[in-house]
Each structure stands twice: as C-alpha cells, then as structure tokens.
Amino acid sequence: MLDRFNILLRLLLVFYTTLASANAAQQEPLALQTAGYKVGDKIPVTCLNRTIDTGEHITDEAGQLSYIPFFTCNETGRPLELLFGIEKEINCTLDFIDDPFFHLLEFYVHNDAPLTCRIPSKPLPPSALKEEFEKGAVDKTDGQGSLSEIYTPLVVALAGTLQRSHLHVATNLNVLLHAAPKSIAPGTIAAATAYSISRDPPKRLAIGDSFPLQFSIRWYPNTSLPSGWTGVGGHLTFSTLVYCALSALASAAICVSYFRGVELPRRLKSHGKDRLGGVERGGLGGYGLSNGYGYGVGKHD
C-alpha cells in the first residue's frame, strides 16, 4: 500500500512539474523560445509605415503600429536583407522616386520623422518570417514601440539638405550591429544603428530619379565599441612604439652578429698577415735592412 502511494505521489509531482514548465514556456517571450542566428542567416529589415502628408506613423484599427518591408533593391529584387555576422558592402538601388516617396524623403532628411526600422533579435518562426518579408507586420504593443526582446530598433539617419525642387542626400551609410556575447545569448542581436557618411559628394535627387544606397555592414561580437581614435593628425600609438623598439633591437642584434662573426675575424686575419709580412721583410729594429750599397747591415759579435 505504501509503495502504491509513493508511485502515485511521484506521478503527481511529474505531472505538475510538466504543467508548470509548459506554462512557463507559453509565457516566455518569443525571442527566448527560438534558437539564435547562425553566421550567414538572413535578417529581414522592416520600417515604420508613415503617411506622406504629415510623416506620422500609421496604425491599424486596434491602434497598433504598422511596419512594412524595407524598400525593394534593384540588385536583388527583394527588400533589404542583412546577413548575421557577415561584413560586406551592400548596394541597394531604389528604382524610381515617385511623388509620395519624395515627400517621405523630405521628412527623413529634415528629421521631422526618422526612418525608423527594426530587425528581429532572433530568427522568427517561419510563419512570422513570411509575413515580415512579404507584407510587413503590426507591432503587438498598442502603439508603444517595438518589443525590445523580439525586435532590435534600427534607426536609419539620412543626412542631406532640402532644396525647392530637389534634395541632396548622402547615400553612403555605415551600418553597425552588435551581437550579444556568445556566452550569454549566442546568435542574438543586441543593438543596431545606421547613419550617412560623407564618403562621396551628396547625391542630387529629384522626382523620377533612382535612389542608390550603399551600406557598409560591420558587426561587433559584444556591446562594446572598440576605439579607433589615434589622435589629431598623428598615428603614434603604443603598438607603434613597441614595433619601433623591437625593430631597433633586431637591427642592433644583426649588426653585432655581423661584426663579430664576419667583420672582426676578417680584420684580425688581415692584421695578422700584415704583421707576418713585416717580419719577413725586416723591421725597423731587425736585421736585413739595406744600407744603400747592396750590403746588409748585420749584427756583429
């Protein structure tokens, strides 16, 4: 009877443990349920849908923010995609600037409304990924912004100037992405940003033109940003000093080795030959010096 009671108690314990685990998994955020990215996995980019009249974000009937895929690139025929852990240059040419898009560009460049995009922090389930790529998705946050655990914000800061009939836009952009430390959350995106740089003269854009965007993608394995500053007008760093010191020591070692192994023996040998030749010919205090008459001056006993 006692054995049956123990078995029943164990079964109940296993049942409640399984039920609690299932409930916790159901309540766990989506980003924590899915596996992380692998190097080379595609990352869709979606952006906040805005009106062309005021630049305000568009919401659905429930007041949820609407996101649409990034502009379609001529090079691929698809919206912009990033690759996890892959650093490369991406060209994304927008085929035609129509009147509505031109007005949106005015908002983006003048910073009246930012080009607010987002990327999944971890791979989305196939159904959600298909929706993200094809028609965009709504944000389940009642208009409060992207869920930070599911999506990582990617604000694209376009720099340029407004003119009466056209725009000047810096179309070269740096895209910086930080992955969470591998020991903490492998394959997870922690932060991202994009901004225009003045690599080339700004592109003059008017209605009817194409819009060539060039993205320089750089990844970092953690949330720390390495320092690349070397000072104003100088390149003198600790590594440079160490390199110079090691080069000087190596040069000195080569010179000493050459002198002791080659030059010094050669000089000693040459000096020995000179002294030996002097003895054979006679020295100033020796014997056999000519007296000018054909007789040698010898030593007399």
**Angstrom distance (rounded) from CA 202 to CA 299:** 102
Do residues 195 and 157 make contact, with C-beta atoms less than 8 angstroms apart? yes
C-alpha atoms less than 13 angstroms from C-alpha of 263 in its C-beta half-sphere: 7
H/E segment holding residue 246: helix 238-258
With respect to residue 25, please indicate whether it lies within any of the assigned structural domains. Answer: no
Model pLDDT, residue 293: 46
Q: What is the pLDDT of residues 110-119, one digit of tens each?
A: 877 889 999 9
With respect to residue 233, please indicate whether it lies within any of the assigned structural domains. Answer: no
C-alpha atoms less than 13 angstroms from C-alpha of 48 in its C-beta half-sphere: 26
Is 60 exceeded by the pLDDT of residue 149? yes
Q: Per the structure block, which two tokens stand in for 39?
A: 């190097």
Q: Per the structure block, which two tokens stand in for 195?
A: 């901004």
Model pLDDT, residue 247: 86
Of 2-16, 21-35, 210-224, the range with the lowest mean pLDDT is 21-35
Domain that holds residue 214: 31-220
Model pLDDT, residue 191: 94
Q: Shortest CA distance to 107 belongs to which of 117, 115, 98, 99?
A: 115
Is 90 exceeded by the pLDDT of residue 266? no
Model pLDDT, residue 213: 95
What's the number of domains the chain is made of?
1
Q: What is the pLDDT of residues 155-174, one digit of tens each?
A: 999 999 988 889 999 999 99
**Torsion, CA 47, CA 157, CA 74, CA 161, rounded to 10:** 130
With respect to residue 187, please indicate whether it lies within any of the assigned structural domains. Answer: yes
More confident residue, 271 or 285: 271
Of 139-143, 205-209, 275-279, the range with the lowest mean pLDDT is 139-143
With respect to residue 269, please indicate whether it lies within any of the assigned structural domains. Answer: no
Q: What is the pLDDT of residues 175-195, one digit of tens each?
A: 999 999 999 999 999 999 999
Model pLDDT, residue 280: 54
Mention every residue, 6+ apart, whose C-beta is less than 8 A from residue 257: none
pTM of the model: 0.63
More confident residue, 131 or 244: 244
With respect to residue 159, please indicate whether it lies within any of the assigned structural domains. Answer: yes
203-205 sheet: strands from edge to edge: 160-162, 167-169, 203-205
H/E segment holding residue 81: strand 81-83
With respect to residue 285, please indicate whether it lies within any of the assigned structural domains. Answer: no
Of 9-13, 207-211, 225-229, the range with the lowest mean pLDDT is 9-13
With respect to residue 98, please indicate whether it lies within any of the assigned structural domains. Answer: yes
For the chain, the 3-state helix, strand and coil shares in percent, each to the nearest 5, are 30, 25, 45
167-169 and 160-162 beta bridge pairing: antiparallel
With respect to residue 300, please indicate whether it lies within any of the assigned structural domains. Answer: no
Average pLDDT on 138-160 reads 70
